Amino acid sequence: MAVAIAEYLGQRVDVDLPVIQPVKAKSTQCPFMGKDCDKLKKNNKPICSVRKLDGTIWIVCPHRLCATVPKIKIGNKNQALPLSMHQKEILWKVAQTIYRGNFTEENIAVAREVSIPLEDNTSVYHADFIMRNLSNGAKVDEVLLEMQGGGETSSTGAITKKVSEWEKLNSPTNGFLREAVKAGTIETNAWRRQQEQFLVKGNVVSQTGGKLVFAVGTLLYDYLKKRFLRANLRDLREHNWTLCLMAFSEDDSDLKVPGAIPFIVDTERLLFTNYSTFVRFLTDQGGPNPQIFEGIFETLDGKTVEIEGASFDFKN
């Protein structure tokens, strides 16, 4: 497995000019969420995304796709942080994909980090975004939007080492920074962390009469697709869908220009279906397998026993 750094603090590295310079100041603004980069504040390298050898982007910063940080601390008070231009662009692309009819940016309203308490008050979840369509006669309105652009990588230390070596060069180049390192993407962990959120929030919004939109990166979408491919889920885009899975991919339709890598909704990775049907299939995988209860076992007093069906035999 190998990946290459794709973005360093919002700057794509697959162009040679301008030459990217190492950032030393912790109070350096993230170009995607309009506040200081959290990675720099934690003494981590400001890597936004990496690229697999096949060219696919894997986002490694939770703020890269569309951050939900609603407030910043100024003095002793938390004050609302306006949506950045990047966030507005991503949210508008989502709205254009899920809503039908005529509407403008003025009609699309969002709330961030909305609390979703459970009935037994044991815990409180938070929606990344609640989106409303305020246009007249909107057939689709109330949406809970969750964002999961990517996740962690294996051998993160190798990526960090590469950046450290680049920072020490007398004349750092973009070419050195984008050289491949031995690391990989971990889609499994990204989905495992999201599963409970997906199931709980989806169940709440479904019972409330709203719709769930799950926006992910292409690699995570493909990972999920392997699990629902056999389900033959109905395409409900023009009907009463309750779940939309959409992938954001790199927009490579134009020449590469310095700055952030542009993202678009991948129309080849877009599913409108029924939330309940999707969850049933997702959780109803596998079948009976009595063999897992047979074979060689060890008793708690240190003996070895072989179990086959209802019979067992202690070994010397």
240-299 per-position pLDDT tens digit: 899 999 999 999 999 999 999 999 999 999 999 999 988 888 777 677 888 889 999 999
Of 62-66, 170-174, 190-194, 221-225, the least confident: 190-194
From CA 187, how far away is CA 174, in angstroms rounded?
Answer: 27
What the block records as the tokens of 44 is: 């981590």
β-partners of residue 141 are: none
Q: Residue 262 — φ and ψ, nearest 5°?
A: -75, 140
Of 7-16, 91-100, 276-285, the least confident: 276-285
Q: Is the pLDDT of residue 47 over 80?
A: yes
With bands split at pLDDT 50, 70 and 90, how would you rate the model's confidence at 118? confident
Quick one: pLDDT at residue 162?
96
Helical residues (DSSP H) of 146-273, grouped into ranges: 156-167, 174-177, 187-208, 218-228
Read off the pLDDT of each residue in 209-220 and give the average, rounded to a whole number. 94
Q: Is the pLDDT of residue 71 over 80?
A: no
Q: Which of 173, 206, 213, 247 is nearest to 20 (CA)?
A: 173
Q: Is 55 left (phi over 0), alpha (psi -120 to 50) or beta?
A: left
Strand order in the sheet with 263-273: 108-117, 124-133, 143-148, 211-217, 243-250, 263-273
Q: Residue 98 — φ and ψ, nearest 5°?
A: -95, -25
37, 39, 44, 48: CA torsion to nearest 10: -90
Quick one: pLDDT at residue 70?
65
Quick one: pLDDT at residue 63?
92
Peptide bond into 18 cis (omega under 30): yes
Read off the pLDDT of each residue in 189-198 and give the average, rounded to a whole number. 86
From CA 201, how far away is CA 197, in angstroms rounded?
Answer: 6
The ranges assigned to domains in the chain are 1-65+152-185, 85-148+186-285, 289-316
Question: Do residues 82 and 58 lie in contact, with contact meaning Cβ atoms separated by under 8 Å?
Answer: no
Condensed to tens digits (0 to 9), the pLDDT of residues 136-159 reads 888 778 999 999 989 999 989 999
Condensed to tens digits (0 to 9), the pLDDT of residues 75-88 reads 777 777 889 999 99
Read off the pLDDT of each residue in 66-82 and give the average, rounded to a whole number. 77
Q: Which of 10-19, 111-120, 188-197 has the highest mean pLDDT?
A: 10-19
Quick one: pLDDT at residue 181?
94
What the block records as the tokens of 69 is: 């940080």
More confident residue, 187 or 140: 187
Read off the pLDDT of each residue in 164-191 and give the average, rounded to a whole number. 93
Taking the chain, what is the end-to-end CA distance rounded to the nearest angstrom? 45
